[in-house]
Amino acid sequence: MWLKIRKSNPIFQLFLWLYAIISLYPLVWMLFYSLKDNNEIFVTNPFGFPTNLRFENYTSAISEFNVPQYFLNSVFVTVITVVGTIVLAVMFAYSAARLRWRGKTIAQMYIVVGMFVPVQVIMIPLAILVRDFNLTNTYSSLIIPYIAFNISFSSMVFYGFFRTIPNELEESACLDGANIYQTFYKIMLPLVKPSIATMVIFVFLAAWNEYPIALMLISDESLKTLPLGLQFFQGQFTTDWGAMGAAMTIASLPTVLVYILFSEQVEKAMTVGSAVKG
């Protein structure tokens, strides 16, 4: 027998509070960690609130090392990757879901197969291609592979959303004189905005945190992204873990900001299919 759980149920509220605390504590711990010295982190107070707020850890991370450059590199690579992936994926998904053209099935299968290719398999061929095209130690050597890796999953998500939209909407637009491009930009694209917001978050996280490809293709200090820079940052900060925590906190801020900006659209993505059908 199924029991109906109400929001006002104390046990349910207690469960939600525990879940929230468990989910948020790692972020809070990282913030505390960034404001402590080595003695507090490892000996006297590893999990509690800092006894003294050591904001100089952030000053050290920003002024004495190359964190701002790493940060800007990550922002540039990630933003271009997100824009490129979303634009290409949404156009392909629309053409695959709503149009008829020769070779569509083969193209769909090709895109789907891309989701099952692990990054470790293509490391050597990718390195050879990047070298032959003279892209080593350039932003393009990261952006192009990042787009290629994310476009498969993004296309399948958009494809599912486009398939839920009734054909009557396109037929009405056609009767009103809209061509295929106007139908796409003015009718179909606004309807899949929640899915676009969802994929922006997924692609942003994947590109922002990516490490193996960056490690293999980037050796120029001025082009390193944050995950790659933090590795060498750790070697220089073996006696200053507070500054390391400050650098990790700075690296986490954009992901939190992106999620806050797009979280409402993500919630709408959960119900947009039924809403459109209704």
- What is the tens place of the pLDDT at every residue in 145-172? 999 999 999 999 999 888 888 888 888 8
- Does residue 184 have a pLDDT over 60? yes
Architecture of the structural domain at 69-233: Orthogonal Bundle (1.10)
The residue extents of the domains of the chain are: 69-233
pLDDT at residue number 278: 44
Tell me what the pLDDT averaged over the chain comes to. Answer: 84
**What predicted TM-score, i.e. pTM, was given to this entire model?**
0.81
pLDDT at residue number 3: 52
Q: For the chain, what percentages of helix, strand and coil (3-state, to nearest 5) are there?
A: 75, 0, 25
Nearest to 97 by CA among 172, 160, 179: 160
Residue 159 near residue 245, CB atoms below 8 Å = no
Report which of residues 115 and 233 the model is more confident about.
Answer: 115
Cα gap 80→70, rounded to integer Å: 16
- For the stretch 98-118, pLDDT in tens is 888 888 889 988 888 888 888
pLDDT at residue number 277: 47
Residue 200 near residue 86, CB atoms below 8 Å = yes
Cα gap 36→53, rounded to integer Å: 7
Backbone φ, ψ for residue 97 (5° rounding): -90, -30
Cα gap 57→80, rounded to integer Å: 31
Residue 196 near residue 87, CB atoms below 8 Å = no
- 126: tokens are 């990718």
Residue 1 near residue 220, CB atoms below 8 Å = no
Element holding 273 (H helix, E strand): helix 272-277
Nearest to 40 by CA among 64, 31, 49, 172: 49
Residue type at 230?
L
Cα gap 5→225, rounded to integer Å: 46
- Does residue 245 have a pLDDT over 60? yes
Residue 179 — pLDDT band, cuts 50, 70, 90? confident
